[in-house]
Amino acid sequence: MAQQQPLAIHETMELHEALNFKTVCALKSKMMYGLAHDEDLKALLELNVQQSTVAIQALQSLLARSPIQ
């Protein structure tokens, strides 16, 4: 397998921005889950939290290639 090149500075900044966005989305969905009364809405919010968690983990693994920490 070929060695992956480190990320450029602008790529690192874009990943940080995406990571912050997904984190806020996950937190908002978790907070709204407690306020929701509709079961369909709760299911959508829970699905969003699960998908956001997967995306956050993927973004964090990409950030490990960043030259700046």
Q: Looking at residue 6, what is its pLDDT? A: 86
Give a yes or no: residue 3 inside a domain.
Answer: no
pLDDT digits (tens, 9 = 90+) for 32-69: 999 999 999 999 999 999 999 999 999 999 998 888 76
Give a yes or no: residue 50 inside a domain.
Answer: yes
Give a yes or no: residue 19 inside a domain.
Answer: yes
Give a yes or no: residue 38 inside a domain.
Answer: yes
Give a yes or no: residue 4 inside a domain.
Answer: no
- Tell me the pTM: 0.84
Give, in order, the Cα–Cα distances in Å from 11 to each of 54, 58, 60, 63.
Answer: 20, 15, 13, 9
Residue-range definition of the domain harbouring residue 49: 9-63
Give a yes or no: residue 68 inside a domain.
Answer: no
Number of independent structural domains in the chain: 1
Name the DSSP class of 65: T
